[in-house]
Amino acid sequence: MNSIAHFLTGIFLFTLGLGLFSQPLEHKGYLGISGGASLPVGSYVSTNIEDDQPGFALPGFSGQVSTNINIMEYIGFAGMLGYHNNAFNESAFVDAYRASHPDDDFQFSSGNYNLMNLLGGVFVSVPQGILDIHLKGFAGISVCTLPS
């Protein structure tokens, strides 16, 4: 986990460095693509069947495509499509269930946790020296599927 944090910090600093030394360009908007690990925490990752809501989630993938399109100098439209996936820890679930129900004989298989977002909205850009702060308001649809 610590090496992931160091890696992401390095990527952030590298990207920031590129931004600091790039020449400003007049543009109408941007398209951003991002992805990375989806690391479950708390009860979402819990494998204790006695917990109120154990999630049995495993690390997964998260990806996003976003865009801003300027309609005025500091105002525009924004959109985002995101996908997040975490596998269900079937073996931990089966082990926990068998420990609490030793006489039951059962078969078990499940799907993954999936979340997809499709959002649209507006943004306001607030230039602050070499930085551009974007304040965004989104509305849209999110579809979440749970392991079944």
Dist. CA 89–CA 46, nearest whole Å: 10
**What integer pLDDT is reported at residue 52 of this predicted model?**
83
**What integer pLDDT is reported at residue 3 of this predicted model?**
65
**What integer pLDDT is reported at residue 14 of this predicted model?**
62
Q: Helix (H, G, I), strand (E, B), or coil: what is residue 145? A: strand
> E-assigned strands of the chain?
29-38, 57-70, 75-88, 113-128, 131-145
User: pLDDT tens for residues 46-78?
Assistant: 888 888 888 899 999 999 999 998 888 889 999
Residue carrying the six token digits 């908007």: 29
Pair type for strands 57-70 and 131-145: unpaired
Phi, psi of 19, deg, nearest 5: -65, -35
| CA-based nearest residue to 57, from 42, 41, 45 | 45
| Mean of pLDDT over the chain | 84
Phi, psi of 40, deg, nearest 5: -70, 150
Which one is predicted more confidently, 11 or 115?
115
* Confidence grade of residue 13 (pLDDT, cut at 50, 70, 90): low
Which one is predicted more confidently, 98 or 64?
64
Dist. CA 76–CA 27, nearest whole Å: 12
